[in-house]
Amino acid sequence: MYVRVRPAAAAAAAFLGLTLTLLGGTASYAATGPGSVTGPGSATGPGPAARRAVLGSPVVYAHRGASAYAPENTLAAIDLAMRLGFEWVENDVQRTRDGVLVVIHDDTLTRTTDVEQVFPGRSPWRVKDFTAAEIARLDAGSWFGEEYAGARVPSLRQYLNRVQRNQQKLLLEIKKPELYPGIEEQTLKVLEDARWLDERHVTQRLVVQSFSADCVRIVHRLRPDLVTAFLGTPVAADLPLYAEFTDRINPWHTTITADWVAAVHGLLGAHGKAMEVDTWIVDDAATARKVQDMGVDGIITNAPDVVQEAVDGF
């Protein structure tokens, strides 16, 4: 198996401790403690360029797998991400009528499967109205391209097994938790059963995110050791509230500025480390370079090859 090695990141990992020491230690770019925020333009540590020099290029996340080139959230999409050399894949988790967690973005099955042909008369074809066995019959690949005919909506367990087999890492999004009471605890149970909550996974291979602050807060309460992210762009003044229960703030790229990114970096997150920013969805080189220059830590993209080339050549 080929796994891309990011030279800048590898070098950063090797020299991070020394370099940060030279820069004055982690406290030089982190705030002095949870609850404090460096204001716009007043971050206490190095700016984006210096930070990039230390940490290397942003980490690239294959959004819904390599979804520009394969049907989103399928095993084919994560396999393709692996073949392209990407470790980190992002997915979306929802729940079937009979309580099985599945990997799909929309809360209806119509856009990415042939559900309307297979189950006519079941409008509006919501994920939560179908059993896992029914969803397993659906073709989740033909809408994207005939070469993917027969791809399935994977269960979360199937998905985890494939990510594990591929030696990849997972940015897991709990999608629309308000539709699925208790999905946080259930997701953690599936992760536990699949042996994704051991120390190695928790510290290196797994991040759980959601657009719902309540959801992220619940995950953090249930498993304080897990790295979590909130999807959104809170105003800088509110960031300390998020820092109490999460490690990352992951915003839509059109909503951010370098000052906002610096404000996030100026806080210590739930695990006492400088908070990070992974932005989405960036699919072109110019935007990738733009957010890289803002100092983001990660870029979530449907076209990971395009973004990786752009940020490597910065």
Smallest distance, Ca ion to C-beta of residue 107, A: 12
Residue nearest to Ca ion (CB): 173
Cα 156 from Cα 205, distance rounded (Å): 16
Contacting ligand G3P within 114-173 (CB under 6 A) = 173
Cα 37 from Cα 57, distance rounded (Å): 25
Contacting ligand G3P within 61-80 (CB under 6 A) = 63
- 253 belongs to the catalytic site: no
Output 135 or 170, the one with its CB closest to Ca ion. 170
Output 29 or 280, the one with its CB closest to Ca ion. 280
3-state secondary structure of 134: helix
Distance of CA 5 to the CA centre of its chain: 19
Residues contacting 41, CB < 8 A, separation 6+: 259, 262
Cα 223 from Cα 216, distance rounded (Å): 10
Q: Say whether residue 247 binds ligand G3P (CB under 6 A).
A: no
Among positions 79, 92, 106, 305, the unique one binding Ca ion when judged by CB under 5 A: 92
Report whether 90 contacts 77 (CB < 8 A): no
Residue nearest to ligand G3P (CB): 280
- The active-site residue, picked from 105, 220, 253, 265, is 105
Q: 241 has which bridge partners? A: none
Residues contacting 251, CB < 8 A, separation 6+: 231, 232, 233, 260, 277, 279, 280
Q: DSSP strand E in 145-274: where?
A: 169-174, 206-210, 227-231, 248-250
Smallest distance, ligand G3P to C-beta of residue 31, A: 25
Q: Say whether residue 305 binds ligand G3P (CB under 6 A).
A: no
CA distances from residue 186 to 18, 56, 182, 233 in whole angstroms, order as listed: 41, 36, 6, 27
Report whether 210 contacts 174 (CB < 8 A): yes
Smallest distance, ligand G3P to C-beta of residue 231, A: 5
Q: Say whether residue 92 binds ligand G3P (CB under 6 A).
A: yes
Output 236 or 291, the one with its CB closest to Ca ion. 291
Report whether 38 contacts 31 (CB < 8 A): yes
User: How many residues in the shown chain lie near ligand G3P by CB under 6 A?
Assistant: 8
Smallest distance, ligand G3P to C-beta of residue 72, A: 9
Among positions 79, 87, 173, 276, the unique one binding Ca ion when judged by CB under 5 A: 173
3-state secondary structure of 302: coil
Q: Say whether residue 310 binds ligand G3P (CB under 6 A).
A: no
Q: Choose from ligand G3P, Ca ion, none: what does 280 bind? Cβ within 5-8 Å by kind.
A: ligand G3P
- 220 belongs to the catalytic site: no
Output 63 or 152, the one with its CB closest to ligand G3P. 63
Smallest distance, ligand G3P to C-beta of residue 76, A: 18
Complete DSSP assignment for 195-225: T-SSHHIIIIIEEEEES-HHHHHHHHHH-TT
Output 171 or 261, the one with its CB closest to Ca ion. 171
Binding site for ligand G3P (CB under 6 A): 63, 90, 92, 105, 173, 231, 280, 300
Binding site for Ca ion (CB under 5 A): 92, 173
What amino acid positions are annotated as catalytic residues?
63, 105
